């Protein structure tokens, strides 16, 4: 045997041995501010922690397109449904993936889809509202299900797929709400997703285990651990000490500290949230009367022009937020990111207030009919971001003689005041669905008395919204006209649409974070060669 | 003695009931909707809010809610948490109690053993350089804010030197096959920093109490008599003087007992210790009425029980009080 042959033999033997070695299990530990308590669709309430986990356990029929465009049928990503077709303008037919299985081995069927929609409508009034346009769900055969809509509109596919992941009818049919069987299912859910719930340590952590025979491909990461860190500093410490591989919602001020660690990478993910100063157009003391100061659009516009919003945004969020020009977030497909919006111009403020009959006093403040231009801004003191913005706004208004007193209050009390419409200016923050249709709730005349707490009503906006919701071909133009009209009405000063900052260990590759459910694609992440394991090692290990 | 005990027990029970009733009504009379945090920024319909109110019994009048609460407590049912629905309050408390007992118990033991030894030593060496330095160091530690000290220790030992875990109580990704010893060691490693933080801050109180009580006792006639009899220094100090100097510590111990079950909100937050303190704070912030009342029952019970235990111990150990 020659020397070369011998070397090759050794190399091949070693390669063969390596190939038969068991792969070290890979673990992704995520430090989160809240731990899921009920990660089952239609059995969760509010907390995004629940839906973040639920979306790894249960699949939707399809996921949103990468553009997050909710209007039309194109670009959606097949999940439980392998394909779909439009039978007519009010009927969508889904063909389920024949390989899709529940984690107990039972195939996912059309009955599951019909059951889930019926259940969602019956247990959640919010779901009932969201699914109101679905007239019926018809099982055509075990793998085919037809959605019949009450009207033709562009968001049918979105409404049929987004709001509720599919549940197993064979395990939940006939099970009563709040029953023992339901509680047992919440403790040990059987889903169709890439992970199953393996362990729950309340108040500490929750472990998801990869499903070996997941029909869309085995997840590369074997275990995903959600670890509770109520305090942001504790979460950052977990990441920096290696006790966690990923942290969500890092404060902008903490981002440089995380970025300075060579093992960690920062990811910035734009979201669907918007923060704005909402001007009440009703008198808080007599809700049937107009607000004595803010009912005048010139005063509202003067207030908006007095704010240097880009500088405020930079001061609070640095580069981690987008300046919105209306009630739509950076990721909403209707947003024109080149739009510059209302400019900062205090001469316009002075001109508008003068036009509105306000006169400047010797001390620089404004008065009209013996009444001072004095307002109160309510905000939740628990939000550091809103407290910072409120102080900046107060100072900028003071410089042009507008007196605004700050009223920071405890969160629940702030919501009470807001709901009861007891405010002049409310520091609102809304996290919206990917669909811009949600604008209707807070910015249409019909929303007054409900989510439209400021009493804003412009028939032109209502008309444009009606067109945007039904006219697929021109929806973008109609929605943009809505945003422009709301901006022109100076219904609010739109201040920020924040991005969420994530710190993730660099050994993870192909990292994609989905803005509407951050960890949805984690099963497709990969781990750099030779970097198995995870945050399982002790801090000094 | 029996009559006194019965009367003291009845008094403790009455205090407990009044505290719980007051907490129930004050919590509900405070402004703010308990469903507000649950709903968050999400826009919800009036129908959904009404449905949620019915689920948690918030649509009932105040007295109806109180009756339901008392009825539930009588049956051992504290209801379901609003924020953690459908998990029951009892489940949440039971899940968090061991962590709190472990941290509180460790701190209590270290506090009362090390604190007593240092306090006695300082009393015996009153006015010495060591006494002065220990007083300065312990009072400085007492003046430190717990969250600040916690952050410093976490940074120093957890991040900078990487000697100890900076957060949590266990390593969730520990090998599932790990035995009892590795698991116990894992918990012990996690326990060091939060326990040290709490001990450093609170031990000064024990030391100060023990030092002053001991200084007073060491000047008593019976101590001088014991010394005159030729007893060893150790016997004089621990058998004669300390026995009489421990009574202020009994009161202190009674006051410490509630901390054993309630934990420390700040330290639990900084070190992400999964105890009851952070759970209670979160419940108050969320206006999670059932969870607030569940933890309040526990706190009120611990305070009342702590005072009762220290009173009874005082009477049992000190014949002068019985007189």
Q: Position of tokens 């990487």?
A: B162
Q: What percent of chain B has pLDDT over 90?
A: 25
Measure the CA–CA gap between A222 and A232, rounded to whole angstroms.
Answer: 27
* Rounded Cα gap, residues A122 and A341, in angstroms: 43
Asked whether the beta carbons of residue B163 and residue A237 sit closer than 8 angstroms, the reply is no
Taking the C-alpha atoms of residue A404 and residue A425, their distance in angstroms, rounded to an integer, is: 9
Positive/negative CA dihedral, A146, A150, A151, A157: negative
For residue B283, list chain A residues with Cβ-Cβ distance below 8 A.
none
- B319 in reach of chain A (CB within 8 A): no
Nearest to A164 by CA among A38, A51, A60, A43: A60
Residues in chain A: 541
Note the pLDDT tens digit of each residue in A37-86: 888 888 765 567 888 999 999 999 999 999 999 998 899 999 999 999 99
Beta bridge partners of A430: A274
Please state, rounded to an integer, the average pLDDT across all residues of chain A.
89
Residue B167: its chain A contacts at CB < 8 A?
A: 229, 234-235, 237-238, 241, 243
pLDDT for residue A178: 65
pLDDT over 90 (residue B26): no
Within 8 A of A203 by CB-CB distance, chain B residues are: 92, 95-96, 99, 274-275, 278-279
Catalogue all structural domains in chain A, each as residue range(s) with its CATH number. 22-57+193-245+507-530 (3.40.190.10), 62-171 (3.90.76.10), 273-498 (3.10.105.10)
The CA distance from B24 to B289, in Å, is 8
The ipTM, to two decimals, is: 0.71
| CA-based nearest residue in chain B for residue A234 | B270
Chain A neighbours among B 147-206 (CB < 8 Å)?
151, 154-155, 158-159, 162-175, 186, 189
CB spacing of A233 vs B85 below 8 angstroms: no
Contacts of A208 in chain B (CB under 8 A): none
CB contact under 8 A, A230 and B269: yes
Structure tokens at A448: 């007054």
| Predicted confidence (pLDDT) per residue in B217-238, tens digit | 998 999 999 989 888 888 998 9
Smallest CA–CA distance, residue A399 to chain B, in Å, is: 32
- Residues 6 or more apart whose Cβ sits within 8 Å of residue A434: A64, A68, A70, A158, A162, A272, A331, A332, A516
Q: Phi then psi for A191, rounded to 5 degrees?
A: -110, -165
pLDDT tens figures, B77-135: 888 888 777 778 998 898 888 999 899 999 999 999 999 999 999 999 999 999 999 99
Contacts of A414 (CB under 8 A, 6+ apart): A378, A379, A380, A381
> In the structure, what pLDDT confidence band is assigned to residue A24 with cuts at 50, 70 and 90?
low
Structure-token match 């109490």, residue found: B209
Residue-wise pLDDT for B30-54, tens only, equals: 777 777 666 654 555 666 677 778 8
The one-character DSSP state at A144 is E
- As a whole-number percent, the residues of chain B with pLDDT over 70 amount to 93
Longest dimension (CA), chain A: 108
Give how far Cα A523 sits from Cα of A223, A264, A320, A520, B320, Å. 10, 20, 26, 8, 71
In the numeric block, which tokens belong to residue A292?
Answer: 């004595």
Name the residue among B85, B151, B270 with its Cβ closest to that of A45: B85
Residue labelled with tokens 């709490």: B198
Instruction: Give the whole-angstrom CA distance, residue A378 versus residue A414.
Output: 7
User: Helix (H, G, I), strand (E, B), or coil: what is residue A448?
Assistant: strand
Bridge-partner residues for A380, per DSSP?
A409
- What pLDDT is attached to residue A532? 57
Supply the pLDDT for residue A20.
Answer: 40
CB contact under 8 A, A430 and B33: no
Please return the burial class of B289, using the count of CB atoms within 10 Å of its CB with bins 0-12, 13-18 and 19+: buried
Phi/psi at A364 (nearest 5 deg)? Answer: 95, -10
Confidence class for position A200, pLDDT limits 50, 70, 90: confident
Average pLDDT over residues A256-278: 94
Residue A10 has pLDDT above 60, yes or no: no
Residue A422 has pLDDT above 90, yes or no: yes
Q: Which residues of A touch B168 (CB under 8 A)?
A: 204-205, 227, 229, 238, 243
Per-residue pLDDT band at A19 (split at 50, 70, 90): very low
Q: Is the peptide bond before A461 cis (omega within 30 degrees of 0)?
A: no
Say yes or no for a CB contact (<8 Å) between A43 and B86: yes
Residue B57 neighbours by CB distance under 10 Å: 15
Distance CA A316, CA A197 (A): 38
Contact list, B282 vs chain A (CB under 8 Å): 230
Nearest chain B CA: its distance from A497 CA (Å): 14
Write the pLDDT tens digit of every residue in A382-392: 888 999 999 99
pLDDT digits (tens, 9 = 90+) for A165-187: 999 999 998 887 666 777 788 88
Tell if the CB–CB gap between B43 and A441 is shorter than 8 Å. yes
Can you list the positions of beta strands (E) in A384-462?
Answer: 403-409, 425-431
3-state secondary structure chain B: CHHHHHHHHHHHHHHHHHHHHHHHHHHHHCCCCCCHHHHCCCCCCHHHHHHHHHHCCCCCCHHHHHHHHHHHHHCCCCCECCCCCCCEHHHHHHHHHHHHHHHHHHHHHHHHHHHHHHHHHHHHCCCCHHHHHHHHHHHHHHHCCHHHHHHHHHHHHHHHCCCCCCCCCCCCCCCCCCCHHHHHHHHHHHHHHHHHHHHHHHHHHHHHHHHHHHHHHHCCHHHHHHHHCCCCHHHHHHHHHHHHHCHHHHHHHHHHHHHHHHCCHHHHHHCCCCCHHHHHHHHHHHCCHHHHHHHHHHHHHHHHHHHHHHHHHHHHHCHHHHC
pLDDT in tens, A80-120: 999 999 999 999 999 999 999 999 999 999 999 999 999 99
Q: How far apart are CA A222 and CA A206, in angstroms?
A: 14
> What pLDDT is recorded for position A541?
28
CB-based burial, A165-179: b 16+ in 10 Å, e otherwise: bbbbbebbeeeeeee
| pLDDT tier, A8 (very low <50, low <70, confident <90, very high otherwise) | low
Q: How confident is the model at residue A536 (pLDDT cuts 50, 70, 90)?
A: very low
Q: Which two tokens stand for residue A125?
A: 């009034």
Query: B 250-289 residues with CB below 8 A of A?
Result: 269-272, 274-275, 278-279, 282, 285, 287
CA A263 to chain centroid: 28
- pLDDT band at residue B20 under the 50/70/90 scheme: confident
Burial class (CB in 10 A: 0-12, 13-18, 19+), B231: middle
């Amino acid at each position: 045997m020659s020397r070369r042959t011998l070397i090759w033999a050794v190399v091949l033997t070693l390669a063969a041995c390596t190939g038969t070695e068991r792969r070290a299990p890979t673990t992704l530990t995520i430090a989160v501010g809240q731990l899921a308590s009920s990660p089952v669709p239609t059995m969760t309430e509010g907390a995004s922690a629940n839906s973040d986990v639920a979306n790894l356990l249960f699949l939707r029929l399809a996921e949103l397109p990468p553009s997050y465009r909710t209007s039309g049928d194109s670009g959606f990503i097949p999940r439980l449904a392998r394909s779909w077709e439009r039978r007519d303008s009010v009927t969508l037919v889904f063909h389920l993936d024949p390989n899709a299985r529940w984690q107990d081995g039972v195939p996912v069927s059309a009955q599951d889809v019909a059951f889930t929609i019926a259940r969602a409508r019956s247990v959640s009034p919010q779901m009932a509202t969201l699914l109101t346009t679905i007239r019926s769900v018809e099982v055509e055969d075990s793998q085919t299900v037809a959605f019949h809509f009450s009207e033709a509109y562009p968001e049918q596919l979105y409404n049929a797929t987004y709001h509720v992941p599919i549940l197993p009818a064979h395990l939940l049919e006939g099970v009563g709400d709040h029953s023992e069987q339901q509680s047992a299912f919440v403790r040990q859910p059987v889903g169709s997703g890439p992970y199953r719930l393996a362990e729950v340590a309340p108040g500490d952590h929750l472990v998801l285990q990869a499903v070996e025979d997941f029909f869309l491909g085995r997840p590369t990461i074997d275990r995903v651990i959600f670890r509770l860190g109520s305090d942001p500093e504790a979460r950052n410490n977990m990441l920096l000490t290696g006790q966690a591989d990923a942290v969500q919602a890092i404060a902008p001020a903490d981002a440089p500290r995380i970025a300075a660690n060579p093992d960690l990478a920062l990811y910035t993910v734009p979201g669907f949230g918007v923060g704005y100063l909402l001007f009440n157009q009703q008198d808080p003391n007599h809700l049937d009367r107009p607000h004595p100061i803010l009912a005048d659009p010139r005063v509202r516009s003067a207030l908006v022009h007095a704010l240097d919003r880009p500088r405020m945004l930079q001061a609070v969020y640095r580069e981690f937020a987008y300046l919105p020009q209306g009630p739509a977030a950076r990721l909403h497909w209707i947003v024109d990111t080149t739009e510059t919006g209302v400019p900062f111009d205090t001469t316009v403020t002075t001109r508008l207030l003068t036009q509105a009959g306000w006169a400047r006093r010797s001390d620089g403040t404004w008065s009209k009919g013996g009444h001072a231009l004095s307002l109160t801004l309510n905000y939740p003191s628990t939000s550091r971001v809103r407290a910072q913005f409120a102080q900046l706004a107060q100072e900028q208004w003071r410089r042009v003689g507008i007196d605004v007193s700050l009223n920071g209050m405890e969160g629940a009390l702030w919501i009470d005041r807001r709901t009861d419409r007891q405010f002049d200016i409310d520091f609102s923050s809304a996290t919206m669905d990917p669909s811009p249709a949600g604008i209707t709730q807070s910015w249409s005349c019909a929303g007054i008395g409900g989510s439209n707490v400021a009493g804003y009503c412009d028939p032109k906006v209502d008309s444009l919204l009606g067109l945007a919701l039904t006219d697929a071909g021109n929806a973008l133009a109609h929605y943009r006209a809505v945003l422009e009209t709301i901006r022109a009405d100076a219904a609010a000063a739109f201040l920020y649409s924040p991005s969420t900052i994530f710190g993730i260990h660099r050994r993870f590759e192909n990292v994609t974070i989905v803005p509407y459910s951050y960890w949805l694609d984690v099963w497709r992440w990969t781990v750099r060669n030779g970097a198995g394991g995870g945050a399982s090692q002790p801090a000094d290990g | 003695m029996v009559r006194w005990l019965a009367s003291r027990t009845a008094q403790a029970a009455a205090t407990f009931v009044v505290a719980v009733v007051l907490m129930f009504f004050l919590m509900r009379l405070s402004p703010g909707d308990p469903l507000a945090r649950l709903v968050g920024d999400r826009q919800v319909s009036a129908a959904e809010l009404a449905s949620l109110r019915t689920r948690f019994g918030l649509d009932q009048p105040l007295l109806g809610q109180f009756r339901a609460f008392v009825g539930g407590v009588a049956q051992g049912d504290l209801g379901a948490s609003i924020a953690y629905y459908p998990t029951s309050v009892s489940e949440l408390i039971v899940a968090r109690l061991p962590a709190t007992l472990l941290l509180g118990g460790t701190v209590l033991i270290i506090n009362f053993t090390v604190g007593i030894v240092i306090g006695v030593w300082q009393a015996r060496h009153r006015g010495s350089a060591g006494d002065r330095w220990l007083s300065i160091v312990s009072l400085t530690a007492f003046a430190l804010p717990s969250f600040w000290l916690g952050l410093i220790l976490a940074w120093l030992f957890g991040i900078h030197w990487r000697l100890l875990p900076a957060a949590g109580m266990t390593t969730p990704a520990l090998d599932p096959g790990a035995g009892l010893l590795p698991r116990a060691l894992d918990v012990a490693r996690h326990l060091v920093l939060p326990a040290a933080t709490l001990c450093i801050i609170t031990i000064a109180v024990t030391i100060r109490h023990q030092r002053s009580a001991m200084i007073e006792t060491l000047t008593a006639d019976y101590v001088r008599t014991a010394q005159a009899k030729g007893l060893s220094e150790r016997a004089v100090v621990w058998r004669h003087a300390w026995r009489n100097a421990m009574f202020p510590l009994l009161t202190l111990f009674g006051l410490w007992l509630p901390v054993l079950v309630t934990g420390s909100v700040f330290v639990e937050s900084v070190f992400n210790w999964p105890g009851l303190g952070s759970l209670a704070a979160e419940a108050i912030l969320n206006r999670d009425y059932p969870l607030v009342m569940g933890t309040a029952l526990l706190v009120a019970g611990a305070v009342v029980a702590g005072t009762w235990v220290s009173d009874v111990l005082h009477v049992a150990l000190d014949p002068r009080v019985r007189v």
